[in-house]
């Protein structure tokens, strides 16, 4: 079974603004199914697309199955089957032997920035970058599927 163990954090805006970043990648993603027990997501980047199926979260862990699909099919799925959608720029930041993915949200979620780290176990030790602020793992309002329907601007 494919398992994802992920923790989420908000960032310190001032420290993030002053942090040197690599080039980000634009993501357009939408949800074909959004249910507390499972989601089906389509994500399109500049070069490819992915179909992802995720199970319910238990702590920081959930099942995840992800498949690369042709970009054209991803766009067609988003345009014709997604019930909600969002866009963001993702930055991949290495920090002390770990990869952080920082999502700078666009559109109705503009102003929200969330950092994620994938782990091998929920108990795994890691060091936080200086630009990390508050942990929001398990807070459903920060799930991308929820942000696509209840965006940050409405909070």
Rounded Cα distance between 45 and 27, Å, is: 5
Rounded Cα distance between 147 and 138, Å, is: 14
- What residues are paired with 54 via a beta bridge? 39, 64
Spell out the alpha helix ranges (H) of the chain. 13-18, 71-81, 144-149
How far, CA to CA in Å, does 51 sit from each of 22, 28, 55, 112, 117?
Answer: 26, 12, 14, 24, 20
Q: Which of 9, 31, 91, 142 is catalytic?
A: 31
Rounded Cα distance between 27 and 50, Å, is: 11
Q: Decide if 143 is catalytic.
A: no
Residues with active-site annotation: 31
């Amino acid at each position: 079974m494919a398992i994802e163990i992920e923790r989420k954090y908000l960032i310190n805006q001032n420290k993030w603004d002053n942090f040197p970043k690599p080039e980000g990648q634009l993501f357009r993603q939408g949800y074909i199914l959004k249910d507390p027990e499972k989601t089906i997501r389509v994500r399109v980047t500049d070069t490819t697309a992915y179909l992802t199926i995720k199970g319910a979260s238990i702590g920081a862990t959930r099942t995840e199955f992800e498949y690369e699909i042709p970009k054209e099919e991803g766009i067609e799925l988003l345009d014709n089957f997604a019930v909600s959608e969002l866009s963001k720029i993702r930055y991949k930041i290495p920090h002390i032997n770990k990869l952080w993915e920082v999502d700078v949200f666009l559109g109705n979620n503009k102003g929200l920035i969330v950092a994620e780290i994938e782990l091998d176990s929920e108990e795994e030790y890691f060091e936080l970058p200086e630009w990390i602020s508050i942990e929001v793992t398990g807070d459903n309002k920060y799930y991308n599927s929820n942000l696509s329907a209840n965006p940050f601007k409405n909070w």
